[in-house]
Structure 1
Amino acid sequence: MYKNLLLAAAGVMFVSAGGASAADVVKVASFVSPKSIGVTKVIKPWMEKVRADIGNSAQLKGFWGGSLGKSPVKQYELVKNGVADVAWILPGYTAGQFPEMQIVELPFLVDNANEAGLVVQRMHDAGHQTGLGAVKLIGAWATSPNLLFINKPVKSVADLKNLKIRNAGSVGGYWLGEMGAIPQTMSAPKMTVALNRGTIDGGQQGWTGMRTFKAMGLVTHAMDLPLGAIPFFLGMNKKKWDGLPKNVQAAFLKHGGETIARNGGAAYTDAVTQILAKNDQAKKLTIVKPSGPEFDKLVANSKKTVHSWWIKKTKNGQEVYDKAVKFLADIRKNG
């Protein structure tokens, strides 16, 4: 009895001295490797800066490589259900749930990862938060724009007709359909499997995704078109968020938001530069880059069809679109 009282007293002393209790452990998860860009250049730096600010007010613990759930499609649910407290979430894998974030998936809208991440973050901060529900957004970022990677010779978009091409989200699928291709909806890991089996002819993907999911050696051509970025966000279970000390919440947001957007933008831009310069498989690909009147016509037609389609199908679509374009203009002018 006396021993138990001593142990209980010791526990009270630990908590009162500022130590983190079990309830203050924050599980931060990713379905991809701890070596991935998003983990090494975005999530881990965020964690380190937060730790430096909060001391023992809470413990941040990483769970990488899908240790809390491997499916990229289920990351939002992991956070919502409290399996993970914080996770790297891909809006494109939950079709229709995050319509405002989908804006950066439009072809020929954003030119780079920094623009895309900042647009998503600023749209959120302006109140466009559809779909978040029981999850709080800590910070958003994005990839560099997608390209098309094909396993057979192509010289122009006309050669895409009847090809089976994996689409990165519903927007990409609509654009591919407009080009006469046959969109194939699947995750990036499954795209690699399908390319290896020869059941698809190519995929809409970024350079970093092709490297991460080991698909570079399965294609021969890359069509260099800015076909929309893939938005990401670091999402946290709201109930867990509400239970955190105020200083911890403040640190999460201080190092989240646009800081995460800019860190992610710089990381993905640099990664593409490194891949093009040093990756042997990337160097072997034939790069096709439409230009001149062909490119101008393609851009105009894509905006007339895909952008208009997105505006019509999205609640308050024109308002959302106009605001995103305004944010984009400001980012290009002022950074």
Structure 2
Amino acid sequence: MKNIISRTLLSLLVAGGFAAQANAAEKVTLKVAHFLPTASIAHWDMIEPWCEKINKESEGRLECQIYPAMQLGGTPPQLLTQARDGVADIVWTLPGYTPGRFPISEVFELPFFAPDHQKTTRALWDFSEKHAFKSEFAGLKPIGIWVNGPNYFHMRDKEVKTVEGLQGLKIRAASRMSNNFLTAVGANAMGMPLPQAVEGISKGVLDGLMVPWEVVPAVKLDELTKYHAEIKDEQGNGMATSTMIYVMNKAKYDSLPDDLKKVIDNNSGADTSAWIASRFEAADVKGREAAEKAGGVIYSWSQEEVNKLKGASSQVAQQWIDDMTSKGMKGQALYDDARALVEKYNKK
């Protein structure tokens, strides 16, 4: 009887060991969603390489199923909710699509605030980790947080070279800060997700879009817009930028075994964010080339007009500071810390 019990226990232990090994080796498929087509830089030069990397480092146990162009349903502003609710495991989106949900980190979207993709991205990661992770990223595991390139004016059929020329024009921007900027300088700000804006520019409902170069070929703005105004101040700061996020459902992350969590951790953070920013920086060059090839007119504003633009939009930063203060936060201190981090990293 004792031998029978021993053999039974041994069989149970062996079976348990095999089950544990099977669980450890089980594949996890991550649903990754975003709002642009597969031709977009984010899809083929950021999300796909990231997915390939975690697949390799997990020895095939982590894999991605990518859903571009809102294939999981809904609209771009709903991506963040999809990530928090687990409809998607990971999403790439813009905080600007959900105004009010990222009020702290949107300081990096203020006019003439950011001079460099990768260096400013490192400042943004540090700032967000210090001030925004607990509040703005509740329910999420931040993988990457970055700024895209300078947002320029891409106009359908109007060559605008002055602040006066902007008056009353219908221009789309991606975020609350950029819309505040457009309003401050006299344009008619049209806040909407990019896919909707592309339809608007093609039908002539919009006069132009305020986006970085990298967007141009992905949504055929090289065909839909004729005039492209590159506007920077004397310090090299673009007139606007957008923050972007690549985030994972926290419950999904927590459900992973420790070794797979480590793979995700090793592919998250400041270095990952800077790498993503580098992909968008390279794409800006290609976007500009696409506009040139299509016969687009690319030009700059005079420094005198850029200074007028800065002056007209200077109130936007103070509005943000006052807004933060009204919410019980130290608005000026937050602004000063963000500004100091941008200066710190851009001096290196």
TM-score with structure 1 setting the length: 0.88
| Contact preservation (8 Å) 2:109, 2:240 | yes
Q: Secondary structure at the match of 2:347?
A: helix
Match of 1:29 among 7, 10, 33: 33
Provide the residue aligned with 1:105 in structure 2.
Answer: 109
SS at match of 1:284: coil
Structure 1 pair 157–300 and aligned structure 2 pair: CA distance change class (3 A):
closer
Partner residue in 2 for 1:47: 51
Q: Choose which of 202, 215, 224 in structure 1 pairs with 2:221.
A: 215
Contact 2:117 2:281 in 1 (8 A): yes
- The question of 1:268 aligning with 2:280 is answered yes
1:189 CA displacement? 1.0
The more displaced of 25-34 and 205-214 is 25-34
The count of residues paired between Structure 1 and Structure 2 equals 323
Report deviation, 1:218: 2.0
Residue by residue, what CA displacement relative to the aligned partner does 1:5-39 show, whole Å, maximum 9, x if unpaired? xxxx98973652465447x4322222323342123
1:317 aligns with 2:322: no
Superposed CA offset, 1:236-267 (max 9, x none): 11111111122222221222112222212211
Structure 1 residue ranges without an equivalent (≥5): 1-8
Checking the alignment, whether the CA contact within 8 Å between 1:116 and 1:231 is kept in structure 2 is: no
Give the aligned partner of residue 75 of structure 1.
79
2:89 aligns with 85
Shift of 1:67: 2.6
SS, match of residue 176 in structure 2: helix
Distance 1:214 1:239 in 2: 37
Equivalent residues of 1:147, 1:224 under 8 A apart? yes
CA deviations on 1:195-234 (whole Å, 9 max, x unpaired) are 1111121111111222212223222212212232221111
Residue in 2 that maps onto 1:238: 250
Question: What displacement does 1:283 show?
Answer: 5.3
For residues 263 and 149 of structure 1, the distance between their equivalents in structure 2, rounded to whole angstroms, comes to: 26
Q: Is the 8 A contact 1:113 1:264 kept in 2?
A: no
Normalised TM-score (structure 2): 0.84
Distance 1:100 1:296, change over 3 A: same
Alignment of 1:321-332 (within 5 A): 321-332=335-346
**Which position in structure 1 is the counterpart of 2:307?**
296
Query: Equivalents in 1 of 2:292, 2:140: separation in Å?
Result: 39
Quote the Cα distance in structure 1 between the aligned partners of 2:216 and 2:190: 17
Name the CA distance, whole Å, in 1 between partners of 2:35 and 2:190.
22
For structure 2, the residue ranges without an aligned partner over 5 or more in a row are 1-13, 232-237
> Does structure 1 conserve the Cα–Cα contact (< 8 Å) formed by 2:223 and 2:294?
no
Distance in 1, Cα, partners of 2:122 & 2:297: 32
Any idea what the Cα deviations from partners look like across 1:66-86, whole Å, max 9, x if unmatched?
Answer: 332352111111111111111
Post-superposition shift, 1:167?
Answer: 2.1
Larger radius of gyration: 2
Residue pairs, 1:174-185, within 5 angstroms:
174-185=180-191
Alignment match, 2:63: 60
With 59-68 and 131-140 compared, the bigger mean Cα shift is at: 59-68
Is the contact between residue 41 and residue 279 of structure 2 (CA under 8 Å) also seen in structure 1? yes
Distance 1:11 1:179 in 2: 68
Identity %, equivalent residues? 27
Aligned to 2:195, what secondary structure does the other structure show?
helix
1:173 & 1:144 partners in 2: Cα distance? 17
Q: Is the 8 A contact 1:311 1:318 kept in 2?
A: yes
Are 1:247 and 2:263 counterparts? no
Query: For 2:187 and 2:48, how far apart are their aligned partners in 1?
Result: 39
- How far apart, in 1, do the equivalents of 2:177 and 2:119 lie? 18
**Helix, strand or coil for the counterpart of 2:338?**
helix
Shift of 1:285: 2.3
Q: How many angstroms apart in 1 are the aligned matches of 2:333 and 2:260?
A: 35
Contact 1:33 1:64 in 2 (8 A): no
The 3-state SS of whatever aligns with 1:68 is coil
Alignment map for 1:155-166 (pairs within 5 Å) = 155-166=161-172
Secondary structure of 2:214's counterpart equals helix
2:103 partner SS: coil
Q: 1:44 Cα shift?
A: 2.5
Q: Which whole-Å CA distance do the structure 2 matches of 1:329 and 1:161 have between them?
A: 33
TM superposition shift of 1:179: 1.2
Aligned-pair RMSD on alpha carbons? 2.4
Q: CA deviation at 1:62?
A: 2.3
Describe the SS at the equivalent of 2:186: coil
